[in-house]
């Protein structure tokens, strides 16, 4: 008996985005992933491939020269890039992270000045929130911004800044009223070439080695007053609203890493023979693959649900963004470890990309809020009645 119910299915346009992105990544990103990891260098060739296909900052609206891909489509792009190279997936992900505060709160003048160069691929955008003593407790930041006539003067240091030194533009959060706590923090656009801006040495990291991470220093950096994003004192709330949207991109990155690992392990298991038959015939291996597929399916549904809420700015976005990021990254860490196990000794070598994927997966449990913080966020939203 028909009930008239149509099972959930993504519109065809998203399948087209996936297919197009995968084609670009198979040809122009995956071949450079191992080199970016081994040399710990920014994947410039991958960037050019993404830029040529308008996938380097797909979220930027068409009115600013961008592809105008919505939050779900952008998540699919990041997922597919991460399937090929996690470091390269931070190109579209961090461009969104850095520019999201402008999209949420900036004046039209700031948007017109800074979004088109990113859309054109002439510049990238990074996000400066964390500091040496202000990680999970971002509100305890010390970087200061003092008004001086028609300028703001910034002094301080930011740590763990993705693509530091590569990006041309930086969204910087700084204290403008030391007595006001979180309500005394404001947001600004700083340019790489502003006098007084400098960068530390790239961190030596476990994974995502092709995406440079470094400190950014502000030594009496003078910027025009018009580079304030939104209102004075609204920076911390803007930072948190931004993360509600961009935690979805980390979920997508983790999802892509996990999918890439499963694809490699499943193909290997079908070819590798022991005891006279492919190891895919052994139940122990089948269970590893089945569990991975199940968790990826669940992570994908949760991530896409969160992305749809990001596009609509639903009341439960904070919960869904935290839940997607937490679940997908925990799943990615477990899945990549298990897929290394499927390959046995080969999985532990650089002859296969699984050891890189396992190392890359770990950071998704840490940045844009540790998964312990995500659980705090989810519990808070649940108790407020904003979980569903």
The question of whether 368 is a catalytic residue gets the answer yes
**Cβ proximity of 362 and 207 under 8 Å:** yes
What is the DSSP pairing of strand 228-229 with strand 185-191?
Answer: antiparallel
Catalytic residue among 80, 355, 368, 381: 368
- Report the SS3 class of residue 20: helix
DSSP 198: E
- ∠ CA 150-156-158 to the nearest 5 degrees? 115
Kindly report the number of other CB atoms within 10 A of residue 97's CB atom: 26
CA dist list (Å): 265 to 38, 293, 340: 22, 11, 8
Positive or negative: CA dihedral 237, 238, 240, 241: positive
Q: Where are the beta strands (DSSP E) in 99-179?
A: 125-128, 144-148, 151-162, 169-175
**Cβ proximity of 216 and 128 under 8 Å:** yes
Q: How many helices (H) and strands (E) does the chain have?
A: 11, 10
The two tokens of residue 71 are 């939050």
The two tokens of residue 293 are 């597929």
* Rounded (to 5) percent helix, strand, coil in the chain: 55, 15, 30
**Cβ proximity of 285 and 267 under 8 Å:** no
Beta bridge partners of 223: 152
Active site residues: 368
């Amino acid at each position: 008996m028909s009930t008239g119910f149509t099972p959930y299915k993504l519109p065809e346009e998203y399948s087209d985005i996936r297919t197009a992105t995968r084609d670009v990544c198979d040809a122009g990103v995956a071949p450079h992933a191992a080199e970016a990891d081994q040399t710990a260098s920014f994947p410039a060739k991958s960037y050019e491939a993404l830029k040529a296909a308008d996938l380097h900052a797909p979220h930027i609206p068409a009115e600013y020269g961008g592809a105008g891909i919505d939050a779900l489509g952008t998540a699919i792009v990041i997922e597919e890039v991460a399937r090929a190279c996690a470091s390269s997936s931070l190109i579209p992900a961090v461009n969104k992270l850095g520019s999201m505060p402008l999209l949420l709160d900036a004046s039209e003048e700031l948007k017109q000045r800074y979004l088109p160069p990113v859309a054109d691929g002439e510049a990238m955008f990074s996000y400066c929130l964390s500091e040496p003593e202000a990680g999970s407790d971002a509100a305890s930041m010390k970087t200061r911004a003092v008004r001086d006539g028609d300028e703001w003067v910034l002094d301080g240091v930011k740590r763990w800044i993705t693509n530091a030194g590569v990006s041309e533009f930086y969204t910087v959060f700084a204290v403008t009223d030391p007595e006001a706590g979180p309500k005394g923090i404001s947001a600004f656009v700083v340019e790489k070439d502003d006098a007084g801006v400098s960068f530390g040495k790239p961190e030596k990291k476990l994974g995502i080695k092709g995406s440079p991470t470094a400190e950014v220093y502000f030594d009496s950096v003078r910027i025009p007053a018009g580079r304030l994003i939104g209102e004075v004192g609204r920076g911390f709330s803007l930072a948190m609203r931004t993360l509600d949207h961009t935690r979805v991109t980390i979920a997508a990155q983790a999802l892509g890493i996990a999918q890439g690992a499963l694809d490699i392990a499943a193909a290997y298991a079908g070819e590798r023979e022991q005891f006279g038959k492919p190891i895919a015939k052994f139940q122990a291996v089948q269970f590893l693959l089945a569990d991975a597929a199940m968790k990826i399916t669940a992570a994908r549904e949760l991530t896409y649900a969160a992305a749809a809420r990001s596009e609509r700015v639903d009341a439960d976005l904070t919960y869904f963004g935290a839940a997607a990021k937490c679940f997908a990254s925990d799943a990615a860490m477990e899945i990549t470890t298990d897929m290394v196990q499927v390959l046995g000794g080969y999985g532990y070598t650089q002859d296969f990309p699984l050891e890189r994927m396992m190392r890359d997966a770990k950071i998704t449990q840490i940045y844009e809020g540790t998964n312990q913080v995500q659980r705090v966020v989810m519990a808070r939203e649940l108790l407020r009645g904003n979980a569903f």
